[in-house]
């Protein structure tokens, strides 16, 4: 009888130890799952940076021949991208999508939004940019400048570009490999949202981000 009692006591102790061990693992896991399930989803469509990181205050030339600095757009939201006018697909697609974003903004937001296209091609002049960029929207602005200034600006925004080999004997007949991100800069001149190229067709969502960064209300979607 005494041996049976000892076995029962040992069995209960082992059961309690196993139960405590399982609880020690399960309770934190349940807590983590609860937090994940109840974590509010971000209202931002792009990659949002909650910290205020000032965007590089470039000094370049616009397609009208005027000197332009980023600080000239203070009080406005800026959608900034890099490319070149001879780009066969990425750049026209990017600017076409940004034009659609712009059209979807309410008039008050359009007045406070600037789309800026920085050329990474030394062949692009203010004149060629003036023929190219306003085609997508007359309020869009194309920028160029000395190669060293363009390189510094691109590097400050994490943009990459390089010349591809010339297609034939003409050394000026080449394309440029370049990164395809678009930056959304807030009215205080801070980098706030980054968009990948494949996100740009979601023009409604990007338009909502622009309104948020401007501090404007975003209309609730009907279910």
Give residue-wise pLDDT tens across range 131-176: 999 999 999 999 999 999 999 999 999 999 999 888 777 777 899 9
pLDDT class for 39, splitting at 50, 70, 90? very low
Q: Name the packing angle between helices 90-104 and 203-213 (round to 10°).
A: 60
Q: Which CATH class is domain 47-213?
A: alpha beta
Q: Which pLDDT belongs to residue 102?
A: 98
- The per-residue DSSP string of 99-118 comes to HHHHHHS-HHHHTTEEEEEE
pLDDT class for 42, splitting at 50, 70, 90? confident
Average pLDDT score over residue span 90-110: 98
Q: Which pLDDT belongs to residue 33?
A: 37
Strand-pair category, 176-178 with 161-163: antiparallel
Question: Is residue 62 within 8 Å of residue 68, measured between CB atoms?
Answer: yes
CA 1, CA 14: separation in Å to the nearest integer?
Answer: 20
User: 107: Cβ–Cβ under 8 A, 6 or more apart, which residues?
Assistant: none
pLDDT class for 12, splitting at 50, 70, 90? low
CA 184, CA 76: separation in Å to the nearest integer?
Answer: 10
Average pLDDT score over residue span 50-64: 95
**Does residue 23 register a pLDDT over 80?**
no
Question: Is residue 210 within 8 Å of residue 111, measured between CB atoms?
Answer: no
pLDDT by residue (tens digit) across 185-194? 999 999 999 9
**Does residue 27 register a pLDDT over 90?**
no
Domains of the chain: which residue ranges? 1-39, 47-213
Backbone phi, psi, residue 177, to 5°? -80, 130
pLDDT class for 19, splitting at 50, 70, 90? very low
Task: Name which of 36-40, 80-84, 119-123 the model is least confident about.
Answer: 36-40
Question: Is residue 202 within 8 Å of residue 45, measured between CB atoms?
Answer: yes
């Amino acid at each position: 009888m005494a041996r049976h009692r000892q076995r029962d006591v040992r069995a209960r102790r082992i059961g309690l130890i196993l139960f405590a061990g399982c609880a020690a693992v399960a309770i934190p896991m349940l807590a983590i799952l609860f937090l994940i399930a109840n974590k509010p989803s971000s209202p931002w469509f792009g990659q949002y940076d909650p910290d205020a990181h000032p965007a590089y205050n470039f000094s370049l030339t616009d397609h009208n021949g005027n000197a332009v600095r980023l600080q000239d757009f203070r009080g406005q939201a800026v959608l900034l991208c890099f490319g070149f006018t001879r780009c066969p697909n990425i750049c026209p697609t990017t600017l076409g999508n940004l034009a659609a974003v712009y059209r979807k903004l309410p008039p008050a937001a359009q007045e406070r939004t600037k789309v800026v296209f920085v050329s990474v091609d030394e062949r692009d002049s203010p004149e060629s940019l003036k023929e190219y960029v306003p085609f997508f929207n007359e309020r869009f602005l194309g920028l160029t400048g000395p190669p060293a200034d363009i390189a510094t600006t691109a590097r400050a925004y994490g943009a990459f570009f390089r010349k591809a080999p010339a297609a034939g004997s003409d050394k000026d007949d080449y394309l440029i490999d370049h990164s395809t991100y678009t930056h959304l800069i807030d009215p205080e001149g801070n980098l706030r949202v980054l968009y990948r190229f494949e996100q740009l067709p979601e023009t409604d969502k990007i338009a909502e981000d622009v309104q948020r960064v401007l501090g404007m209300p975003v209309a609730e979607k009907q279910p």
